[in-house]
Structure 1
Amino acid sequence: MPILQWLTRDEDTRAVRSVPYRLLQEESALSCGDPDAANMLIHGDNLDALKALLPFYAGRVKCIYIDPPYNTRSAFEHYDDNLEHSKWLAMMWPRLELLRDLLAEDGSIWVSIDDNEVHYLKVIMDEVFGRKNFTSTIVWQKRIGPDSRAILGAAHDYIVVYSKNLEAFKATANKIPLREDQIAEFQNPDNDPRGPWTSSSNFSAQGFRKNQMYKIVTPGGAEYYPPEGRCWVTIESEYFRLLKEGRMWFGRDGRGMPRKKTYLKEREGQATWSWWSNSEVGHTQESKKEIIALFGASNTFDTPKPERLIQRILHIATNPGELVLDSFLGSGTTAAVAHKMGRHYIGIEMGDHAVTHCAPRLQKVIEGEQGGISKSVNWQGGGGFRFYRLGPPVFDEDGHVREDIRFPTLAAHVWFSETNAPWKGKGKSPFLGHHDGKGYALLYNGILGDRRPDGGNVLTRSTLQIIREAAAKKAPTFDGPLTIYGEQSRLGPTTLARENITFKQTPYDVRARR
């Protein structure tokens, strides 16, 4: 597969390894609403924030939407958008790598972009996500009229879509609702008890199949054979079944060409295509009006996205309760729409507007704000989010865990370093769980009592018994090898071998995963 070369490519494609795992520290004064709502707003550099999320959310995010700087060589109030191509690529590559690792197997990533970088973006996303997982390039009609300042004014932006696994995504993606004008096409001229219907204008298919080349006699006596070079779409027995069930239509006089009925109640929606008009999903003027309504005319973003556009994406890619991530949150549109649609979300924003715009906007949503898509989804308010800032690194410069790290944080890193999967555990059980036939346990920070040798941080016969009892409660059928992290072990090599235990010392044997 062809790859894209740029000045600092070798350095940039290895950049993720040098990004530290940082703590996420809640600032409760900026959190709002229900603290158990599982929604996060993170203020800080998104590269560091994405790395910090890995031990907890790797492989769990159903939909990622990002609207990165477009590299348009113009200055924005809230962004420095004037980057050379190589600098833009250096910024995007490591972030795309981390976003890929956070994405669920049936998840998808949607990236807004314009003509300046769309082709470069496509090539590096082919490499990061695999060309076979390219899903679509959507053309969004962002304007309602031509730009009088340009000879050929840009009427559109792109949304480049990739899946973690294309087949898995296709199996779970949702169709979009029918428009009102489409619903109006469904009629019931024959008083069919199944309700309104529409009919396909062509009951034939291209090609020749011998068992689909039969004569059809209509109720009015007209006779039809397939048109030249075509055959009927079904075999004859299937046609007679449809006819018996009243699912065929031959016009009001019963002599028209055969047509198959499709009932409104059977249409859960329609598949979308790659052209999204502004009448369907909104435009830039609509999005600016939404921002002005929220923050006032003197406090707006230059390139916000309309809530209807994000609603379309989240409807296709997610279901209620699933997790959405936006690591270039901007004014907070993705988080606001996800909140109103009943999705969980993580929003990351490095600018001060994480505090001045995003948090206040989400607070308004919780209070029942009625702009954007609120009325269409019957939004009445509720829920909550927790506000976080990036804290110090989890590991020191030698790659060892810092001694003041709390148990849940270290447990997540132990689990992630051993399994390459996020830790979903809660509480204070020393047995973290089992993965691929192996069990993992952590004795740390007084988890079983105190720091004395016979307390909770040292592996002894008594603490081993507690671990075994905890494992029996969490995984009654597990009987595999066990890796135990602790301050030290009082069990000798013979005992460890007999018990099928690998002991690793904390903090020295817990290292940052590169």
Structure 2
Amino acid sequence: MDLNGDTLAKLKQILPEIFSEGADGKPSIDIERLKIALGDEVDIEADDKTRYSFNWSGKKQAQALANQPSTAALRPSVEDSKNWDDTQNIYIEGDNLEVLKLLQKSYYGQIKMIYIDPPYNTGKDFVYKDNFHDNVKNYLQLTGQVDDDGNRISTNTDKSGRYHTDWLNMMYPRLKLARNLLKDDGVIFISIDDKEGHNLRKICDEIFGEDNFVVAITREAIKGGSVSKFIRKVHDFVLVYSKSIDEVVFGGIEVDGVTLDLEDENGKYARGRELNKWGAGSRREDSPGMWFPVPGPNGEEIYPTRNDGSDGRWRLGKQKMHELISNGNAIYEKRENGTYVIYEKIRDDSNRIKQFTSLFKDSYINAKGTDSLKSLFSMERSLFDYSKPLELITDFMLMSNTLSDDIILDFFSGSATTAHAVMQLNAEDGGSRKYICVQLPEATATDSEAYKAGYKNICEIGKERIRRAGEKVLAEWQEKQTKNDLLAEDNKSSTIPDIGFKVFKLDTSNFKPFDGNFFSEEMILSGRTSLDLFYELVLKQGYSLDYKQQILDIGGTQCYALVNDDGMPFVLAVLDNAVKANFALELLKYALTLVIIKDDCFATDELKLNTLATLEQLQSKDNPLQIRIV
């Protein structure tokens, strides 16, 4: 995604009069015209050193780094994954800066909640030291993938003279890219201690805006603490920022953002939560599993509909919706077009209307996270230091009001507590939230418990934790379903928790760098598979990684495909098989949005031209099919 170009295009649409032609034909912004356009509403800053600002060595490079396009790719690792064909969860091994760049086009404005637990900058080994010129090469060297001498670790000691600077340069571009991914009602939670907490607050005010600061949560991290020269420290912090403070709604008193006076035959209820999904992802096709009937006030079946009468989706899963209705906690409001809006009653004495406070105590200490890991791995000592407790991440998901199929991102995944928490909460409330976890495959110390147990890097711990936690979550869910004889069969949850995950690994692009030779026969790196190439192409065309992927036979031609829940393809790619003569005619049966064909899959130029001519018949305003020949 061209972030600079996107910003310029938006600005040009709003204020076209401030642009003029600059050097080499590039767009140029005339500051004087900008002043005139804005009048007295905005104070245009000059180069005035007396103004308040927060600067450090390397800040400009760090800002520019976020906008530099990535030359990397995410290579699928089916063998490391679990339930590849069905899962919508994603685990990515790699430098999170490059990964965040690669996710920009597919996940721009799609993430509901971000939680990160970045390095606290304690002066120990600091592995996220970016190379402003070639960060992919830097990452490969760092993880020992291209250096025969093993892992190379950059250090950031408090005696380096760049103690705070290196940390700020690391955090700034990552947070800037993270903000792009948040939905308008999205929230980010950042764990930190007092070594960099003050600096983190300043750069977050700059990136997210001071008005979007929500709260600094104080968390009791340890009990008692160790003897200190001054005062025992037993806490750390979590900074909370919204993407847009006017759009965000937090769990608590205003559970879902729709606070109304509702009345039924039993009297007045002060608040109700609207259960028909609105806004982004509100269509039936966005989440087919959330389109199902529920009993109406007169016994009829009610399906979720949008304001325009088209098929919509419920906010809650089937089990929760039926429970609300069977327990008499639903209120029906009939629209003029005859369709219904359903509200959930929220009684004033319900625990659900209690707001979270800015002080997290007792159940949020690190020891609970450590005990959880030891239990999962059946070990006396933990494999991972300072793992956060499940309760912390679960409450953040509730606080940020994540709904059924929202996406939660953690790009400092560590021991994968976030993945565990998402699976656990889904099992409890019937949701289908999805996670994206990103972690640098940082080597474990040779004298650590993890290394001795066979886990040579942090990613190996995280993936194994998800496997074990998922099986535990599923077993507990199945036991609960078996014991739940009080509910009718139709009211039991039909949403089996998704305990799988797709693994992708950061690497260089599958395409060879262009060397000026237009007649090169092979532009693909040796050792790369067609599946590698497929995912690089579809991700950069804006398709997310959580779609189901299959290999299909279309008229005798083998295709890599992204398919809907009903198995119908909407993206097809021919990458390693000859295109058959009737291939294009077969495509007329499908509602496709993208077709990719590797050029050498055409046996003749005539077949290529005929195929393209047929594909162009599928292109229209209603079906903007993209055709890519590579």
Is the TM value for this pair above 0.5?
A: yes
Which of 294, 298, 310 lines up with 2:376 in the alignment? 294
Q: SS in structure 1 opposite 2:352? A: coil
CA contact (8 A) 1:35 1:385 kept: no
| Cα deviations by residue, 1:179-219 (Å, 9 ceiling, x for unpaired) | xxxxxxxxxxxxxx889x9xxxxxxxxxxxxxxxxxxxxxx
Alignment of 1:365-380 (within 5 A): 365-368=469-472
Aligned equivalents of 1:389, 1:411: Cα separation in 2: 16
Matched, 1:334 2:414: no
Which of 585, 600, 605 lines up with 1:453 in the alignment? 605
Query: 1:110 matched to which residue of 2?
Result: 189
Q: Which amino acid in structure 2 is aligned with residue 450 of structure 1?
A: F
Percent identical pairs in the alignment equals 25
Aligned equivalents of 1:26, 1:33: Cα separation in 2: 13
- Residue 302 (structure 1) shift: 2.2
Matched, 1:175 2:252: yes
Aligned equivalents of 1:361, 1:381: Cα separation in 2: 16
Query: 2:82 matched to which residue of 1?
Result: 32
1:365–1:176 CA distance, 2 compared to 1 (3 A) = farther
- Residue 129 (structure 1) shift: 1.6
Matched, 1:463 2:612: yes
CA contact (8 A) 1:43 1:390 kept: yes
Which of 216, 225, 232 lines up with 1:137 in the alignment? 216
Aligned equivalents of 1:373, 1:116: Cα separation in 2: 41
Matched, 1:356 2:460: yes
Which of 372, 379, 384 lines up with 2:500 in the alignment? 384
CA contact (8 A) 1:411 1:423 kept: no
Aligned equivalents of 1:371, 1:277: Cα separation in 2: 30
Q: Which amino acid in structure 2 is aligned with residue 92 of structure 1?
A: M
Query: 1:413 matched to which residue of 2?
Result: 540
Matched, 1:320 2:396: no
Matched, 1:311 2:463: no
1:429–1:392 CA distance, 2 compared to 1 (3 A) = same
Alignment of 1:59-458 (within 5 A): 59-74=109-124, 82=157, 84-170=163-249, 173-175=250-252, 263-264=347-348, 268-278=352-362, 281-295=363-377, 296-317=379-400, 318-342=402-426, 343-350=433-440, 351-352=442-443, 353-368=457-472, 383-393=499-509, 397=513, 403-404=523-524, 406=533, 409-414=536-541, 427=569, 444-445=597-598, 450=602, 452-456=604-608
Q: SS in structure 2 opposite 1:301? A: coil
1:463–1:55 CA distance, 2 compared to 1 (3 A) = same
Aligned equivalents of 1:304, 1:371: Cα separation in 2: 23
Matched, 1:41 2:91: yes
| Cα deviations by residue, 1:50-95 (Å, 9 ceiling, x for unpaired) | 2222232222111110000001224699996746100001111111
Say which one has the larger Rg: 1
Q: Which amino acid in structure 1 is aligned with residue 187 of structure 2?
A: S
- Residue 444 (structure 1) shift: 3.5
- Residue 123 (structure 1) shift: 0.9
- Residue 369 (structure 1) shift: 5.2
Q: SS in structure 2 opposite 1:367? A: helix
Q: SS in structure 1 opposite 2:217? A: strand
Structure with more contact order per residue of length (Cα contacts < 8 Å, sep ≥ 6) = 1
1:37–1:265 CA distance, 2 compared to 1 (3 A) = farther
1:372–1:36 CA distance, 2 compared to 1 (3 A) = closer
Aligned equivalents of 1:466, 1:423: Cα separation in 2: 26
Q: Which amino acid in structure 1 is aligned with residue 116 of structure 2?
A: I
1:129–1:451 CA distance, 2 compared to 1 (3 A) = farther
Aligned equivalents of 2:52, 2:64: Cα separation in 1: 19
- Residue 105 (structure 1) shift: 1.8
1:374–1:21 CA distance, 2 compared to 1 (3 A) = farther
CA contact (8 A) 1:43 1:354 kept: no
Aligned equivalents of 2:542, 2:112: Cα separation in 1: 21
Aligned equivalents of 2:240, 2:478: Cα separation in 1: 26
Query: 1:227 matched to which residue of 2?
Result: none
| Cα deviations by residue, 1:320-363 (Å, 9 ceiling, x for unpaired) | 32111111111111111112222210111112544431111111
Aligned equivalents of 2:381, 2:471: Cα separation in 1: 23
CA contact (8 A) 1:64 1:109 kept: yes
- Residue 316 (structure 1) shift: 1.5
CA contact (8 A) 1:34 1:384 kept: yes
RMSD: 4.4
Instruction: Please report the TM-score for the alignment, with normalisation by the length of structure 2.
Output: 0.53
CA contact (8 A) 2:123 2:157 kept: yes
Query: 2:277 matched to which residue of 1?
Result: none
- Residue 308 (structure 1) shift: 0.7
Instruction: Please report the TM-score for the alignment, with normalisation by the length of structure 1.
Output: 0.64
Aligned equivalents of 2:74, 2:602: Cα separation in 1: 26
- Residue 7 (structure 1) shift: 1.3
Q: Which runs of 4+ in 1 moved over 3 A?
A: 74-83, 262-268, 352-355, 369-382, 394-409, 421-431, 439-444, 484-487
Q: 50-59 vs 93-102, which deviates more?
A: 50-59
CA contact (8 A) 1:133 1:162 kept: yes
CA contact (8 A) 2:109 2:181 kept: yes
CA contact (8 A) 2:91 2:437 kept: yes
| Cα deviations by residue, 1:238-261 (Å, 9 ceiling, x for unpaired) | xxxxxxxxxxxxxxxxxxxxxxxx
